[in-house]
Structure 1
Amino acid sequence: MNRIVVFGAGSVGRGFIGQIFAEAGWRVTFVDLESRLVQALNTGSYRHVTLSDEGVEETTITGVDAIDGRDTAAVASAVASADFLATSVGAANLRHIAPTMAEGLRLRISERRGPVDILLAENLHGVGGEMRSLLADALGDDADAVLAQVGTLETSIGRMIPVPNEQRREHEPGWVAVEPYRELPLDVAASRAPLPDVPELVGRTDVPFAFYSDRKLYLHNLGHCLTAYLGELLGEDEIAEAIRRPQIHRIVQTVMATAAAALSLEYGEPLASVQANADDLLRRFHNRALHDTVERVGRDPQRKLAEGDRFLGALALAARHGLARPITVAVAVGADKLLGSVPADQRDSELDRIRSVVAHHGGEDQLAVFDEALSALRTSPDLERLALLLDP
């Protein structure tokens, strides 16, 4: 039986990677630091629940085990003998797992076990290069020889997985709930070994992987976050209730359609295909069973309003294709949230920063749209006025 070693047994590790590989007949070995979770997974199975408005589907994922990440010798041995590797630890934690992974890879190459790929289920653009750099530092003089046989495959994690509450984690550490969506695009061009026969893995050679990472950021993440910020303005607590508000739905739908058109033009992907993904996302945002909160989706607005991230990155993309206006309105919504979250003495500098980016990509015309949209959100949010700004 083939075996995958997954660093990180959290929501994505158990809820997505572990599920699709186990259901494809693979043995799944998790590496984690949470002792109770490791103990629970070493029973050989965990409960996996799929939530939708159509009902609840519960299954038991079997053929799993786990290693405590502090047992570095056991982890390195597992890496050396694995048929495939994956990480879902959070990009900031890759530096902590790189040394042990490097030892396992060094051992693997010394035993002539052949090339291996690492599936990077991390929310970071360019994480493939980051992982290679961390491994190279840990491998030292062996870096070139080892990494020549190691692929670092970026992914686009689109499945929405609600975080279980503390009571659930305490009572049943292995339990995880997810939405039905199962597609997992990966950067097949970076592979060094044959791809696993797992139906959910999508590896295309006719479009650069940047299409999928940009689609996730500028379509999924932008639409999701915009829904959260508009929902908060109208007093909604959950994404599913927010997107059901007609005013919010109209604004989010228009912004996402614009992002879809820009992505189609940028990458040559048929518009119908990209728009179908946008429509599916809107449908998925309606999933009440997830109980996904506007607070969770909208947290850390400073990062989300960084240049290149979901708001300002989407603006740059849309502006290159003459489609900036609806995205400019979305940027104003994000800016309103950011300005309300930073200390008073930082608001002017943050506003100046965002206005500068808007002017750079859209000129004075888009700056005027931004200022008017921001004005519509001050004091008493006027979403009707905001919606009117979407059209020229």
Structure 2
Amino acid sequence: MKALQFGAGNIGRGFIGKTLSESGFSVIFSDVNQNIVDAINYNREYFVKIIGSNQNKTVNIKRVSAINSNDSNIKKIISSVDLITTAVGPTALEKIALIITQGIIFKIKNQFTKPLNIIACENKIKSSSFLKQVVLKNLPIKYHDYLNKYIGFIDCSIDTIIPAINNKDDLFLTVEEFKEWIVNINQFKGAVPKIVDMKFSNNLDAFIERKLFTLNTGHAIAAYLGLIKNYKTIQDAISDKKIRVIVRSAMEESGSVLIKRYNFNKNDHLDYIEKIFLRFENPFLSDKLERIGRNPLQKLRREDRLIKPFLGAFEYNLPYSNLAKGIAAAFYYHNKNDLESIELSSSIKKQGLESTIIKICDLPVNSKEVYSIILEYNLIKKIIR
């Protein structure tokens, strides 16, 4: 069994590539970073340190190779593998879709009928379904029947924390023991692959939103609040008592929305929040706030980790003030090395805060939602100082 993994970064190597290798797949990584590609092809293996609650261990990941995503030979690899996975970030999916489309066309022209399943492992709701629509848009209509018969796009939810570390070994990673990979079992074509610890669900939306609107919501709010106070890591931010209260309360607000929407057990969900907080506090999983906060435009979209639970609170008449604080902090974020941050700051400067909120978050003009964010924006520095 062979798998092609787009993205050889932390999640790509430390979670997906590791899991697939442990499941018996030969894993081919595809990345635009030629240094990473060369390192993988030179070593043909890498090491991952797993941080557990009781003990730590290091595992050796073998049967790996790599190819640059811009290499024209990648279409041949796409036509031959059993599984494609991605961990490239939601904003890069459209570029990946173009590459996958060429691979599918090559597969069709060579009359290959072996089913191919594609799992986009991104922090985006139904990212595989989104990827499918982009592929269909680029694929000639005459090939659509083939795609619908032989190509599966499987939505999933993944949950793990893999911090960026400075190490002489470019491929070495530290990961947490906790991991969760839940997929929609109804979307596979052909035989369902046997993947270690992969869970199957008929109700994936609930799991996707549980993770995105708890772990990712809390992570993002901690990052944006922490950066206002010039903290560097997630542990620094969470150790600040004022930030800690806001982050925890925001996660409980988003949790109230999830409990209402999906009939989650309240005590179970509060336990889930507590487990995530313990993961945030783990000093061995230290992560930089600038990495967590990058790409703010993506995080501030209507369907993403900040705005959707915020709107859900309005929908169900639930508390939302701490979610509003987190959103306001996101509009403060400025990083000269982040193009989305530059665009966000420029929009506020040229068009004003209100117009920027309405445009980026797709919120109604003169709405209570917009004014509540503006109110918190004007107060946020005083609140956390």
TM-score bracket for this pair, using the shorter chain length? 0.7 to 0.9
1:312: which partner in 2?
A: 307
SS in 2 for 1:162: coil
2:15: which partner in 1?
A: 16
2:116: which partner in 1?
A: 116
2:162: which partner in 1?
A: 161
Shift of 1:240: 0.9
SS in 2 for 1:194: coil
Letter in 2 for 1:97: I
TM-score, normalised relative to structure 1: 0.81
1:222 to 193, 209, 217: 217
In the alignment, does 2:350 pair up with 1:350?
A: no
Coordinate RMSD, CA, aligned: 3.3
- In the alignment, is the contact (CA less than 8 A) between 1:53 and 1:289 conserved in 2? no
* Alignment of structure 1 residues 40-189 onto 2, 5 Å: 40-42=39-41, 43-51=43-51, 56-73=56-73, 75-91=74-90, 92=92, 93-106=95-108, 110-113=111-114, 115-136=115-136, 137-165=138-166, 168=167, 171-189=168-186
SS in 1 for 2:154: strand
SS in 2 for 1:382: helix
* Cα gap change, 1:369 to 1:375, in 2 (>3 Å): same
* Cα gap change, 1:96 to 1:175, in 2 (>3 Å): farther
1:334 to 307, 330, 335: 330
Bigger radius of gyration among the two: 1
TM-score, normalised relative to structure 2: 0.82
Shift of 1:360: 5.4
* Cα gap change, 1:265 to 1:72, in 2 (>3 Å): same
- In the alignment, is the contact (CA less than 8 A) between 2:227 and 2:333 conserved in 1? no
Number of residues paired by the alignment? 371
After TM superposition, the runs of 4+ consecutive aligned structure 1 residues lying more than 6 A away are: 52-55, 338-341, 355-359
- In structure 1, C-alpha distance between the alignment counterparts of 2:269 and 2:366, rounded to whole Å: 24
Shift of 1:9: 2.3
Unmatched runs of 5 consecutive residues or more in structure 1: 385-392
Letter in 2 for 1:29: I
- In structure 1, C-alpha distance between the alignment counterparts of 2:25 and 2:264, rounded to whole Å: 33
- In structure 2, C-alpha distance between the alignment counterparts of 1:211 and 1:328, rounded to whole Å: 23
- In the alignment, is the contact (CA less than 8 A) between 1:336 and 1:377 conserved in 2? no
Unmatched runs of 5 consecutive residues or more in structure 2: 335-340
Shift of 1:256: 0.5
* Alignment of structure 1 residues 260-339 onto 2, 5 Å: 260-326=255-321, 327-337=323-333
Deviations 1:84-142 (A, max 9, x none): 2222333423144224421454267x2332x2211112333343233223433235522
Letter in 2 for 1:106: I
1:387: which partner in 2?
A: none
* Alignment of structure 1 residues 375-390 onto 2, 5 Å: 375-378=378-381, 381-383=382-384
* Cα gap change, 1:268 to 1:119, in 2 (>3 Å): same
Identity %: 22
- In the alignment, is the contact (CA less than 8 A) between 1:47 and 1:59 conserved in 2? yes
- In the alignment, is the contact (CA less than 8 A) between 2:258 and 2:264 conserved in 1? yes
Deviates more, 1:342-351 or 1:12-21: 342-351
Shift of 1:232: 2.5
- In the alignment, is the contact (CA less than 8 A) between 1:243 and 1:286 conserved in 2? yes
2:239: which partner in 1?
A: 244
- In structure 2, C-alpha distance between the alignment counterparts of 1:146 and 1:359, rounded to whole Å: 36
Deviations 1:22-67 (A, max 9, x none): 1122222223344443343334311112346867532211122334
* Cα gap change, 1:362 to 1:72, in 2 (>3 Å): same
SS in 2 for 1:184: strand
- In structure 2, C-alpha distance between the alignment counterparts of 1:5 and 1:131, rounded to whole Å: 16
Letter in 2 for 1:346: K
